[in-house]
Every structure is written in structure tokens, then in C-alpha cells.
Amino acid sequence: MDAADVEAITKIVKTVGAEFKGASDEDIKFWIELQAPVISRKKFGADYNLALALLTCHAMKMAGSGDNSLGTIANTGRLASVSEGGVSISFATSTAGTAGDAAYQLTSYGLQFIEIRNRHIVPIMIR
């Protein structure tokens, strides 16, 4: 991946993931390089940079970066609801969807990535 691609994806990460605006370019580059092998430029075409940026935001969020006002994903990922008056906390029993997408469904970035992926990659259906 060349420097221009990394710079463009970094800009998308800081724009789409406003909570990562304060992250250093070096930290974001590290996360981009970790996520790049997960997706194919050929398959995602014109949406590759956006898909990789969303995947990078998802990975950063899952690692505890960004806004953690309610706690980290590790601590709150299974929460279904929280109340304050009278204290009520509900936990989700499972994440919706297929097991392969369950981790992506824990962040808004992962959900957006799934939407883009589904436009470019059609799963094989077997009966």
C-alpha cells in the first residue's frame, strides 16, 4: 500500500470516525496496515478506501480507542439497555446475524462495513 493510499484512508478515518480525530497519523497507519490484508482492493473497487477506513475504525473502537463514555466495547458490547433511576441493566444473550458478522455488529463502523461488503461480495447460497 503506497503512502497516498494511507494518507487518503487516514483522512477518511478522521472524518467518518470523528472520535479518532485526535489519534496520531502513525497510530492510524498501524491500524490500517493491520486491517489491509482482510479485504481485497479488487473486490471492493472504488469503495476500497472507505471499506478499509471503516474496518480500521471498527478495529480501533474494539481495541478501546475513541469515545468510551459508557465504557469499552469489551465491557459494554453485550449490554442491551441501561437505566439509571431504579438501576436496571439488561444484557443481550447473543448478537444478531451470522457468527461471522457478530463482531462487526458491535460497532456502527462494522455495520457500515457489512453494508459495503454486501454490495460487492455476493455470498454463495447452498440448500
Cβ–Cβ < 8 Å for 12, 90: no
- pTM higher than the cut 0.85: no
Question: Residue 69: pLDDT above 90?
Answer: no
For the stretch 103-124, pLDDT in tens is 899 899 999 999 999 999 887 7
* Residue 82 or 74, more confident: 82
**51 neighbors 114 (Cβ within 8 angstroms):** no
Q: Given this model, what pLDDT does residue 40 score?
A: 95
Q: How far apart are the C-alpha atoms of 77 and 7, rounded to whole Å?
A: 30
Place of cell 492510524: 28
- Give how far Cα 16 sits from Cα of 11, 38, 60, 78, 108, Å: 9, 20, 13, 24, 11
Domain boundaries, the chain: 3-70+98-120
